[in-house]
Amino acid sequence: MFCRECGKQISNNASICPGCGVSAGNGSNFCPACASELEPGSEFCRKCGTKLLKATRSKLAAGLLGIFLGSWGIHRFYLGYINI
């Protein structure tokens, strides 16, 4: 695959691009499948059709999930406290 930040070819199991130091899958400048340059915010590569995941969206989802699970845990704690 290719680094999405700088377009350099990196091995499929690399977690960080050796060229720019950005973690693999981050960045929005190049297609990870064919290394063609992307327009900012594109969801598909226009050249090869690869669907591009947005790192910011998954980070937001993880954050919301963390908040949800955190408040759920507190909620359970309160329920347990009432039962005692």
Number of residues that bind Zn ion (CB under 5 A): 14
Residue in 9, 14, 19, 65 binding Zn ion, rule: CB under 5 A: 19
Give the residue with the Cβ less far from Zn ion, 43 or 83: 43
Q: Please tell me the distance from the alpha carbon of residue 7 to that of residue 27, in angstroms, as a whole number.
A: 10
The site string for Zn ion over 23-62 (x = CB under 5 A, - otherwise) reads: --------x-xx----------x-xx-x------------
Q: Is residue 35 a contact partner of residue 52, using CB atoms and an 8 Å limit?
A: no
- Inter-CA distances, 54 with 26, 28, 57, 59, 75, Å: 8, 8, 5, 9, 32
Query: Which of the stretches 9-17, 52-60, 62-70, 75-83 binds Zn ion when contact is defined by CB under 5 A?
Result: 9-17
Q: Please tell me the distance from the alpha carbon of residue 65 to that of residue 22, in angstroms, as a whole number.
A: 24
Interface residues toward Zn ion, by CB under 5 A: 3, 5-6, 8, 17, 19-20, 31, 33-34, 45, 47-48, 50
